[in-house]
Amino acid sequence: MFQKTLGCLKCGSNYEVIPPDGVYTEPRAKLDDPPGDFVEMKKECISCKNKNIIYWYKPEIKQ
Ligand SMILES: [Zn+2]
pLDDT of residue 26: 94
**Residue 63, in any domain of the structure:** no
Distance from C-alpha of 19 to C-alpha of 51, rounded to nearest angstrom: 17
Tell me, in angstroms, the distance from the centre of ligand 1 to residue 63's CA: 36
pLDDT of residue 1: 61
50 has a pLDDT exceeding 70: yes
Tell me, in angstroms, the distance from the centre of ligand 1 to residue 6's CA: 11
Residues in the 5 Å CB sphere of ion ligand 1: 8, 10-11, 13, 45, 47-48, 50
**Residue 62, in any domain of the structure:** no
DSSP state of 23: S
Mean pLDDT, rounded, of the chain: 93
**Residue 45, in any domain of the structure:** yes
pLDDT of residue 41: 97
**Residue 48, in any domain of the structure:** yes
Domains in the chain, number:
1
Looking at the chain, which runs of residues are DSSP E strands?
Answer: 4-7, 14-17, 26-28, 39-44, 51-57
Residue 31: which domain range?
4-57
